[in-house]
Structure 1
Amino acid sequence: MNNIKNIFSIKDLENLSGIKAHTIRIWEKRYNILEPMRTDTNIRYYDLASLQKLLNITLLHDHGYKISKIATYPPETIPKLVQDITSNINSQNHAISAFKMAMMNFDQELFLNTYNWLIAEKSFKEIFYQVFIPLMTELGILWQTDTITPAHEHFISYLIRQKILIQIEKLQGLKPSNNDKVFVLSLPMNEIHELGLMYLNYETLLKGYKTIYLGASMPIENLMDLKKHFDSIIFISYLTIKPDIDSVNDYVSQMIQELWDESTQLWYIGSKVEYISSDEFSDKIQVFNSISQLVDHIE
């Protein structure tokens, strides 16, 4: 059974475009910018073409075009104006919209073309902070509101993952310039959100350190093996959906008990760090509220 989403409610359009549903209704009624289809019970729904048009209109509106003027343009003019805007300025919002549209259409070519356009103008670091982080934040919201399916999320995440891996591979052939410590990066058991940890691997390599990347679902007892091979280790754990809120402090406590000593540091990042009892563990761990904060802390 095909459960890929290709029709959208007005709430979905709000979530994807950032334009309030009330405003979309006004634009429809007053300017006829979209022509929704209707269910038998008269409920609006929209196709991918409507979503694409709304995302383009949103970009024009964000760049000073009045909606009353946009409404007078023939259908072929709006995409041309969007193309003119994006060819003359570095448009973060356009890139995010294009990536979302690529995701909704499972359009790898659009993703790659948008990325290539960005990388010609920006560093990979700028792309990650200015585009990928806001995009991933939006994906989380779209997931929670059932606007996108797992297939959508996996599709776009895999393409972003590829781009991070390409940057990592460029650095892995270089000999580390800082040999006083090793960074070990892993996720707790059943944690699958890996993109943030992968980017931290890239940044740590960029700063000249040796990294051991272990990825998803790494049992704490297996981390102990690393201590047999390296004298000074910084363990980085990224906690996004796991452990559960009630288990976060047990997880940290177990890591302290099994891994911590004077030559070992335990660093934590991710949405679940707010549930760590920092007062209880403050002398043995470090908690970071953002990727940039952690990166700045790498000496």
Structure 2
Amino acid sequence: MREDRVPTMEDVARAAGLSRSTVSRVFQDGGNVSPKAQIAVREAAAALGYVPNLVASGLAGGSHRQLGLLIRDATNPAYGHLHAEMQRAATRSGRTLVSVTAFRHEYGTAEVEGLRRLAGLRVGGMFVGTGVTSAEDLRAAGTGVPMMVLGRPNTDPLLESVSYDERAHGRLVAEEAMARGHRRLGVLTAPVLYSRVFDLRARAVRERAAELGAVAVPLDLLPVAEGVARALDAAEEQGLTCIVCPVDYVALDLLRAAAARGTEVGRAVSVVSFDGLADGLDLIGLATVRLPVAAVAADAMARMDEILRTREPLPVRHALHAGVFVDGRTLGRA
């Protein structure tokens, strides 16, 4: 083989002493290929510098092995963990996951374009991990393959979802605060367009607080640096003993602002949040709700397997998974 020529599957087969069909099966799913042959194929491919064409192999296999994942803002630990768990679930399922990442607060346009890019890769199904783009816009993307919302709650009758139970999480936060004697809460809020998840969490906290006879004061989050400062001001001026943040990275900003003022969190004012996935939160002692990321990823992949295996359309399912409350020093007694 000439050094300037790109190696082919036939080259790998020749080097491994196996048939081209055996090499093809190894790179598709390894089915009906002995471990010894799989090792020979992969060693030959590595020696030749051969990289399989996953799009072509997915089309040839006709088994929808290649799936797409649109993930939002991978710098956010919640999305980063979801990405990792979806990759693990895909590997266990014998599938390949191709991902496209949008960025925070582009209000859906980048996400719809990402879906179209995934469709162009001929994926057999798509997972959408985003808190911004509406169900209507997702359906209007017209990808032509099964689509499933991940993470955020969804009630669209035409769109599957496997989600975190954010309403339950918001109610849980209110109950934990009430159990420690807090009767006046500040709840940082943002518009639905900024984050549907933030909005749902805040509304659930306020709903449950009202049911328990407490006061939950909505506080403008945006812009975040100013929002956390306003929340600390409101705590002093309005006698709010606990501030509820919509996500951990906002809570960390609030802790920094409190430290700069000399405000002792957990004593002068308590702070509680959502996600519970960033490294080191246990060292900080942040009270938060930990999302059930692994459970959502495993359920979503199993459901997509079921959809792709079944010839007849299945009834649309909306599955919810609840996380757990993680106590911390930032939530003290009122």
Same structural fold, with TM-score higher than 0.5 when normalized by the shorter chain: no
TM-score scaled to structure 1, two decimals? 0.37
More helix by share: 1
Greater RCO (CA < 8 Å, at least 6 residues apart) = 2
TM-score scaled to structure 2, two decimals? 0.34
Structure of higher CA gyration radius: 2
